[in-house]
């Protein structure tokens, strides 16, 4: 379904970071397909490694070797998520991938982490009309996100950075730092 304003589909608008209608039928169908795969993945146990890997490979845009994600996992589409090699995500990862989520190699993700790409208009009218947008999230190599970390839309986190448990990352973090708090602030530079 094309948007009458500029001829692009809602998916094209969404992936470009422009405003789009969240309950567009094409997007709803893609999200429902992802939810089916997500439910199948979340219903598997750790002894079903080949099946779990196959479901994740089908759900996600890209999945590196020796990466483990403990169920439950929650996504919007899954296909907009790229995860590198040798990563580990503990229970309850929420990765709302309305825009791209790119996770490097050797990343450790604590339980209950939220990677949130969607944004919404501040004005009540467009929000009521179900317009939203999104900004991508990028997480570098060898990053550690402690339990309960929230990464907000548009944030990049540099290589080797550690984000303490419960931090809310609202702005980019450079490589080689430790950040904590709400909003997250740098408390240490790593040598």
d(CA 131, CA 16): 14
Q: What's the CA gap between 118 and 98, in Å, rounded? A: 6
120 labelled catalytic: yes
Please tell me which residue in 58, 90, 120, 148 is annotated as part of the active site.
Answer: 120
Name residues whose C-beta falls within 8 Å of residue 191's C-beta, 6 or more positions apart in sequence: 176
Beta strands in 32-92 (DSSP E): 62-63, 68-69, 73-75, 81-83, 88-89
DSSP state of 149: -
Report the C-alpha gap between 127 and 86 in whole angstroms: 39
Residues carrying an active site annotation: 120
């Amino acid at each position: 379904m094309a948007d009458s304003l500029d001829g692009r589909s809602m998916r094209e608008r969404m992936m470009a970071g422009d405003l789009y209608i969240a309950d567009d039928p094409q997007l709803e169908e893609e999200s429902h397909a992802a939810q089916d795969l997500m439910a199948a993945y979340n219903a598997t146990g750790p002894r079903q490694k080949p099946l779990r890997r196959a479901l994740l490979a089908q759900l996600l845009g890209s999945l590196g070797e020796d990466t483990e994600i403990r169920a439950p996992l929650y996504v919007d589409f899954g296909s907009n998520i790229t995860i590198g090699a040798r990563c580990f995500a503990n229970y309850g990862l929420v990765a709302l991938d309305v825009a791209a989520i790119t996770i490097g190699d050797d990343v450790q993700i604590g339980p209950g982490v939220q990677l949130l790409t969607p944004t919404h208009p501040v004005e009540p009218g467009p929000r009521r009309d179900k317009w939203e947008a999104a900004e991508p999230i990028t997480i570098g190599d060898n990053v550690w996100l402690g339990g309960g970390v929230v990464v907000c839309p548009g944030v990049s986190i540099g290589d080797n950075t550690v984000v303490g448990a419960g931090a809310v990352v609202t702005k980019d973090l450079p490589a080689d730092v430790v950040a904590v708090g709400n909003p997250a602030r740098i408390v240490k530079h790593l040598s």
